[in-house]
Structure formats: structure tokens, C-alpha cells
Structure 1
Amino acid sequence: MEELIKYGEKFFDELEIVTYKAKDVSVDIELNEISMAATRTDVITIIRGIKDKRIGISIVDTIDKEEVKKAIEQAAKMAKLNNPDEKWVSLPEPGKYREQPEPNEELREVSPDILVEMAIKGIKIAREKDEHVTVAGGSIATSWVETWIGNSHGIDVIQRFGNAYAFFELVGRKEGIVTPGIFEFDAKDNLALDVEGTVEKALQKVQWAYKVKEAKNEEVPIILGPWAIAGLFAYTLFPAFSGERLVKKTTPLADKVGEKIASDVITIYDDPFHELSLAKVIADGEGVPTRRYELINNGEFKGFIWDNYWAKIYGTESTGHGHRDFRGGGVSIGLNTPIIENGKRSLEEIIGEIKHGYFVDGVQGAHSSNPDNGNFAVTANPAYLIEDGEIVGASVFLIAGNIYELLKQASEVSKEQTVMPVMYTVITPYIKFENVKIAGKK
């Protein structure tokens, strides 16, 4: 690749080349049967060159040297056609990287047969333990990724990682009751997926959902589960951490560094080296080193995240949060692996102390939230009624509010943490919130 960088310097003031190779193996489930098994491979090379502040990008689906040279020439032609970006400063410089853990090589050459066996096992467990249950959907999948990032300033980073997940959606039909889709998920950076445990947790929720309980308008304690937290935070909270939004004045956190924006029980940091992380990467999409980065510490907002471009515009340094778009070739700001720190007590213990409240397993409509101010309105579904410390049935209701007000109502986080690959791979406990206004649906 050094030869290609030198070739590109004939055309550009500075140049970046990124190669991406991925192999995905998946088995899909639909209505109690295997609907499809597939293996997909992707090979992409991205050229990003800058000449007189004019940026040219070219993408080819190969790593062949001669084809990449042609792509460099094409990027040079594109740069001449583009207007100069007067805000452009430079590509990033090399940094100090952590030692990358050895990935699980078993994930490199996974046979679809192994995943089919897991899927069949999950379907069988669900059907044998509850004849009224349909495995409406799901998938078992693995991914293996190899990337190389190099630029004309000396960045030269190779990364390899793999992960796997098992996902099941169950629907129960019993005595005229049809439950909502009940989701359960397990994800790891190895093949040791807990298919049985995942299905059994979903089956327990189906049993709760058979008993429909009408919700009313009231203020109650609620517990948000990992699925609900990952979805809600991804659209209301996490975008506000972006330095680009700070520059553009579209984040409500602009003047909040060092201030309390959540209760003391909320600590959030970003670290792809967390033991539960699915991609223990040493560098972001531009080759800038990743690190543990605090976002909220005991309720106090600690700072924004940056990629190289917006950091230099603002006069600071990249925090290792440049995310590569492998379709368009550009870079945007994004979290690597946000982690919500866990607590000391189990979910069971937390539920056991609630006289009347709800456990919200999932939310619908989070994508329509407003990250510019944190306002949201979602449907809690599935949600489960808690009476005298026990879950007694399922409900559906509306929650509308502001994410920062909600964060200040957080009273406890569970010791359990779950990996949730949503927009980001979020590692989160269950979180209890006090005095949350809900609106029952009739």
C-alpha cells in the first residue's frame, strides 16, 4: 500500500486510502422455519485525496493494485470538479495505539451449517416449551472484518475483528390473545452464543404478555430495558455529543460541559475495548487512535466527541470518533461503543421493590425524536405491569418527554449489562426512572 500512497501523491497534496474486507454469514428464520442461509463477501477500497482544498473521493470494489491506481486517477479528476472546502485543514497524523486483542479466528471461516443448527435449536426450544408460540422471525449471523487505513502523513493501521449474534422474535397466540413481537438478542465477539438462554428469556416475556392489563394516565416508576434504552438514546441523546453539532449550534449541550445533565447514577463512556465490545478497534475510520472517553460521569457532562475534520475547525483534537461511510466514502462523527455503567443490584431485586410500575422492554417511534432539544414521544411496547414486586401482565402506553429531564429521574441501574447492536453497539444495564408520566392507550 505504501506504493499506492506514493503514486497518489503525484496527484494530491495529501491522500488517504482505506481498504475494507468483510465476510458475513447469516441464517434467517421466518414462521418457525429457516427461510434463507447466505454468505456475503465485500471488498472495498476508498480513495480520498485533497488538492488545493478540493476533495476527490473514489470507491472501487477491489484491492487490485492497478485498479486502485485507476481509482486514484478518478479521484483526482473528481477533485478538479469540486469547489474548494475553505474549512479544510489536513488529514490526521499517526498516534499512539493500544495493543489490539487477538480476534477469535473461529469467526473467519464459519460454516452456515453451524448457524443453521443454532437456529433449529432455538426454534425447537420455543415450540416445545410453548405450543402457542410462533418464532415469527430471527437470525443467527457472524461477521469477519479486516481493514487497512493509510495516508500520506504516515498513518498505517491494520485491524481485524469478528462477532456473532442470535436474534429471535416470538409471537404468542392463546385464548384470543395475540402478543406483540417479543424480541431477545445475544451478541458476542465469539461463537459461544446462548441460544437456549435467549429463547427462554423471550418465552418468559410471552407468558407475561398473555395477560393483558390496561394502562392509565399516571406517574409511575418505570424500568427501561436494554432494547428500549438503546433505541431511545440513539435518537435523542447520543447525537447531541457530536462536535459537529456544537460547531453548528444544534446541540442542547453547547454550554453544559461540567454541568449536571443527569442523576448521579448515570455514567456513560465510550470504549471499544470493553470486555463486551463486538469490535475492539484500535483506530477509528480515519486511523486516529481510539480510547476510553468519558461522556457523562455521575451525571456530569464531560465533553464532546470529534472526528478529524470538525476537531480542526473547532481548534481541538480528534477523539477517535471518525466513522467511515463505506458507501459514500466520507467520514462523520459517531460513537464507537457507548457503555452505560452498571450498578450493584440485579434486575430482579429492583423489580422486587416496586409496588406499582412498569418494565418497558421496547419502544416504538424513537426515530422521530428531536436530538436538537431531546424531546421524544414513544409507544412503550412491549411493556409489563409490576404489582407488589412481581410482573403480572403486559400493557401498551405512551411516554412523551425530554431525555434530559428523564435522565435526572434515573434512580438505579442494574448490575446486568447487555450488548445491543442498534445504530451503535450499546452496552447497557436496565435503568429505573422515578415518577414518569405515562398515557394509557385504549
Structure 2
Amino acid sequence: MMTIIDAILKKVKSKSDAAEVFHLRNETTGCSWAADKLKLAETKETSGVAVRVIKDGKIGFFASNKVDDADKIADIACELVNYGSEFAGELPSEYKPVDADFFHESTAHAGAERLIEAGNGMMEKAKSAFHDAIYEGKLDRSIVHCTIANSHGTRADFRKTLFGGFLWGSVTREGDVLNVFEYGNYNYLDNQPESFADSTVQKLKNAVNVVKLHAGEYPCILTPNGMDVFGVLETALNARAVLKDLSPFKDKVGEKIFDEKVILVDDRLRDKMPGSQPVDDEGVTSQKTVLVENGILKSFIHDLHTAAKMNVAPTGNGERASLNSGPKAGFTTFAINPGTKTLDEMISGIKKGVLIDNVMGAHQASAFSGDYSVNIGLGYVIEDGKIIGRFKDGMLAGNVFRMLKEQILEIGSEPKFVGILFPPILFDRMTISTTG
């Protein structure tokens, strides 16, 4: 029996130089809590197909959630190629299976009942440990089934599981509002809800005491949650930015751009990560790509188009933001090699400094210059190797590239995935401004 994928591919092949069909089916169960109580539990199923048609150096794209009319989908995709953008790449002609786990049976079988049990336990644990806070939370589990087939003979079919969630704690005392949170994304469900509770409670306990901090330069630990400004790296190390002259590293491959401690990779095969899968969203076999090694720039991330334009091999980074958008070069598991010290060990070595766990306004940071100035959502004061409380109304200013080149004191040993897989990092001479 011919599938919708085969039917579409058969028709578009005769009207194009090359073609690709991407089919996605997703089942998601989500549970949410508000004011310490279960608010919602639901399961949703979605599916759809996206088609790319290549002809005369142009690419057309069409996506639909209605997958019952192969002829209509194929005809629209073939028509849109006439208005398409340039495409310099060539679709892959083979798929090499990889030996890695992306699908976890126990997670797949974790339905609403299991999530409710885990979430209720998370809420109860947090409430019993810090009763004064009001908590909100969410847990989601997804089963993804993806098929990618193209006219060059590549066909990849795989399943993966996903789990993610957060816990938010809020305390109001005498006009002072304190909000803290913990979150994470993975491809498996284990005891993460319990760890969300433990971490959120610890942050609340550290933050209830408000202390003064004078403006100045301090040694500063950024936790993974507080590293939003590092998002500029994902732009600067993306080949699409290079082709648009938006990357400061455009002509610096082979040059030292950061401290020799810095090793940056993107690893689509990394164990337990939500972005891991056997192929990228263009059917290119997944791999680990070294971007910066001992401070030296080695590579950028590429999709098929950028790789062809720059005459290099694709890195397996074709990413679809959704079914309705075509793949573009994007990061999956962007990581820095961890060091040897735990967060507690780094804190214990600081005479006077700060720890920052949340910043606001990082989207305004410049990916070309690396400059940023952000509000500190949650920052702690460290004295004599201990956190003594939180400071309010602070701002952090600096330059991401300078931080990684000149200001690293220690890279922590405990990485956490929050969109990037980084451990806490201790930086020297970070500029903090405060009011009051």
C-alpha cells in the first residue's frame, strides 16, 4: 500500500530536479498546576507533512496538516517553486544509521496518570519544604514519529521521546515579590520533577534574605539559567550569519578567539538530550561538530544550503522551527566542555562576589559585537564562600566574547540543558550596577 509520503514523492519527482517529503506525527500529554493544585491534564495528537521541491536552483516549500490529498499537496508545492528562494545544496543520497538511544519506552508509556503523580509529588515536596511560597508547574511528555524521504533515495524513519517541565515559586512579603523557577528539557522522564522541587526550594531559601550590593566589579558565577546572553554565540557560529556578514568570526577559522579552556561543540547524538535524533530535518546523518577547540575556531554549523555556498560538508544542523517552516541551520545540543569544580566548590572559593541565576533583556544583546546590558532577575551575594542573600534592582553589563576570551576563572563540572548545555561558569571582573 502506497503511503502519503510515497504518493507525494512520486508526483513531485516528475516535475522537479529533486524533492523531499517530511512527515511528522506528535502525541503530547501535558499537565499543569496553579496555586499549588492540579489545573489541567490533556493529550493532543498532531500530524502533518511538509514538501520541498527543487528546480532550476530554486526551492519551493509547502506544509499541511491535512494529509488526505497527496495530489493537491504535490501540485501546490510544485507551483510554489516558481516563487522560491535560491537553494545551492543537494539532498543527501544515503542515510547511515547511528547507534544511539532516542526513544525511551518507560517515557513513552508515561501518560497523564504518571505525569499527575510526578507533578503532585513535585508540588507536595516543594510545599512541605517551603510552605510560604505559592507554586505553579507544568510537565509535558511527547512521542515524536518522523519520516524523511527524498528523490535521491534517502529514507529515514525514527521515533523519539521528549520530556520537559518547570516549577515556579512565588513569595510576597511586605511589598517584596520574589519569583524563582527551575526547568529542564530531556528525552526521558526519571526523577526530574523531584529535582525541580529541590532546586526551586533551595533558591527560595537563599533569596528570602535581601541584602545590599554596591555597584562595582565582582567575580561572578553565571548559572545555566542565567546564561541567556550566550545566545549570541549561536548566531555568531551559524553559517547563515557568516553568509550575511553578520558574524564577527567570518574570516577567523583557525584563529584563537577564546580562552584555551573553551571547547564548544554541537552534538546531535548527545545522550538524553531533546534535540538528539539520527538525522537532521533534511535527512543528513547526525554528528558531533567541534566549533571551537582550545579556544581556536574550527567550524560553523551548516545546513545543506550554507554548506554548498561555503564549499564545505554539511554538519547535520538543518532545523525546522515547526512543521510550517523549512529547515535552516540551527543548534541542537550546543555545549561547552565542563571543568572539574562543582558549583558549591566555586562558591566556597569566593571572598566577595555574586551568583546570577536569571537575567532579563538578553534578546537585545548584539551578536556582532557581543555587547549586552541586562536586568538581573535573580542575583545572590556571596561573602566568605557562602550565599548570604539576594540583591535587588541590579544590572549586568559586559561583552560575551570578551568574557570567554579574557575573564574565565573556572568552568563548572555540572552541565544542565536549558536550550544550551553549559555548567555554571565563574568570570572575573563582571560589572554590576545597582540602585538604592
TM-score scaled to structure 1, two decimals? 0.92
Write the mapping of 1:330-345 to structure 2, written as runs, cut at 5 A: 330-345=326-341
Correspondent of 1:427 among 414, 421, 424 = 421
- 165-174 or 377-386: which moved more? 165-174
The question of 1:361 aligning with 2:365 is answered: no
Q: Distance in 2 between matches of 1:102 and 1:32?
A: 33
Deviation at 1:127, TM superposition (A): 1.9
Check the 8 A contact 2:7/2:70 in 1, yes or no: no
Deviation at 1:78, TM superposition (A): 2.2
Correspondent of 2:23 among 19, 22, 26 = 19
Write the mapping of 1:189-338 to structure 2, written as runs, cut at 5 A: 189-229=187-227, 231-234=228-231, 236-338=232-334
Q: Distance in 2 between matches of 1:7 and 1:105?
A: 36
Check the 8 A contact 1:224/1:431 in 2, yes or no: yes
SS in 2 for 1:148: strand
Residue ranges of structure 2 left out of the alignment (5+ in a row): none
Deviation at 1:89, TM superposition (A): 4.7
Check the 8 A contact 2:236/2:367 in 1, yes or no: yes
Check the 8 A contact 1:19/1:46 in 2, yes or no: yes
Write the mapping of 1:6-85 to structure 2, written as runs, cut at 5 A: 6-64=10-68, 67-80=69-82, 82=83, 85=85
Q: What amino acid sits opposite 1:340 in the alignment?
A: I
Deviation at 1:225, TM superposition (A): 0.4
The question of 1:417 aligning with 2:415 is answered: yes
Q: What amino acid sits opposite 1:243 in the alignment?
A: A
Q: What amino acid sits opposite 1:74 in the alignment?
A: I
SS in 2 for 1:237: helix
Q: Distance in 2 between matches of 1:131 and 1:189?
A: 31
- 26-35 or 386-395: which moved more? 26-35
SS in 1 for 2:353: strand
Residue in structure 2 matched with residue 94 of structure 1 by the alignment: 94
Q: What amino acid sits opposite 1:212 in the alignment?
A: V
Deviation at 1:87, TM superposition (A): 5.4
Q: Distance in 2 between matches of 1:287 and 1:15?
A: 12
- 192-201 or 361-370: which moved more? 192-201
The alpha-carbon distance between structure 1 residues 177 and 353, as it changes in their structure 2 partners (threshold 3 A), is: farther
Q: Deviations over 1:224-270 (max 9, x none)?
A: 001112x2212x21111111111111101112222222222222111
Residue ranges of structure 1 left out of the alignment (5+ in a row): none
Residue in structure 2 matched with residue 139 of structure 1 by the alignment: 138
The alpha-carbon distance between structure 1 residues 332 and 375, as it changes in their structure 2 partners (threshold 3 A), is: same
Correspondent of 2:382 among 380, 386, 395 = 386
Deviation at 1:102, TM superposition (A): 5.5
Structure 1 segments, 4+ long, off by >4 Å, are none
Q: Deviations over 1:191-233 (max 9, x none)?
A: 213323321221111112111112222111000001112x221
Deviation at 1:312, TM superposition (A): 0.9
- 98-107 or 391-400: which moved more? 98-107
Q: Distance in 2 between matches of 1:360 and 1:171?
A: 18
Correspondent of 2:343 among 327, 340, 347 = 347
Q: Number of aligned residue pairs: give it.
A: 430
TM-score scaled to structure 2, two decimals? 0.93
Residue in structure 1 matched with residue 110 of structure 2 by the alignment: 110
Deviation at 1:90, TM superposition (A): 3.3
Check the 8 A contact 1:222/1:360 in 2, yes or no: yes
Check the 8 A contact 2:348/2:384 in 1, yes or no: yes
SS in 2 for 1:198: helix
Q: Distance in 2 between matches of 1:307 and 1:194?
A: 33
Identity in percent: 26
Q: Deviations over 1:374-433 (max 9, x none)?
A: 11111222011000000000013211121111112111111112121xxxx322111000
Check the 8 A contact 2:54/2:87 in 1, yes or no: no
Deviation at 1:77, TM superposition (A): 2.1
Deviation at 1:133, TM superposition (A): 0.9
- 362-371 or 258-267: which moved more? 258-267
Deviation at 1:272, TM superposition (A): 2.2
Q: What amino acid sits opposite 2:72 in the alignment?
A: K
Q: What amino acid sits opposite 1:407 in the alignment?
A: L
The alpha-carbon distance between structure 1 residues 89 and 133, as it changes in their structure 2 partners (threshold 3 A), is: closer
Deviation at 1:12, TM superposition (A): 1.6
Q: Distance in 1 between matches of 2:44 and 2:140?
A: 11
Check the 8 A contact 2:24/2:323 in 1, yes or no: no
Check the 8 A contact 1:165/1:193 in 2, yes or no: no
Check the 8 A contact 1:263/1:411 in 2, yes or no: no
Q: Distance in 2 between matches of 1:42 and 1:121?
A: 29
Q: Distance in 1 between matches of 2:37 and 2:324?
A: 36
Q: Distance in 2 between matches of 1:154 and 1:367?
A: 41
Deviation at 1:7, TM superposition (A): 2.4
SS in 2 for 1:263: coil
SS in 2 for 1:90: coil
